[in-house]
Amino acid sequence: MSEVRAEMVANVWKVVVAEGDAVEDGDTLVILESMKMEIPVLAEDPGTVVSLKVAEGDVIQEGHLIAVIE
């Protein structure tokens, strides 16, 4: 199981995957936006998205849990 967390304060611009989706290492899970920059958050391991903790438009803090991949 791997937890994907935010590296910085950001706005959730796009949620690319849904719970239950199978992902490969390097797939984009969500796209954050901070300081006029889009920052794709990638899966670091292959697996299934068992939990997705953000929605488009959310403002999240550094360390905020974005997704759990199993």
From candidates 15, 39, 42, 65, binder to other proteins by CB under 8 A = 39
For residues 13 and 47, which CB has a smaller minimum distance to other proteins in the complex? 13
Question: What is the closest distance, in whole angstroms, from the C-beta atom of residue 30 to other proteins in the complex?
Answer: 15
From candidates 2, 3, 11, 56, binder to other proteins by CB under 8 A = 11
Q: Is the dihedral of CA 53, 10, 18, 46 positive or negative?
A: negative
Question: What is the closest distance, in whole angstroms, from the C-beta atom of residue 35 to other proteins in the complex?
Answer: 4
Question: Which tokens belong to 45?
Answer: 């391991």
Between the alpha carbon of residue 47 and those of residues 36, 52, 64, 65, the distances in Å are 31, 13, 20, 17
The answer to whether residues 45 and 25 touch, using CB atoms and an 8 Å cutoff, is yes
Residue 15 lies near other proteins (rule: CB under 8 A): no
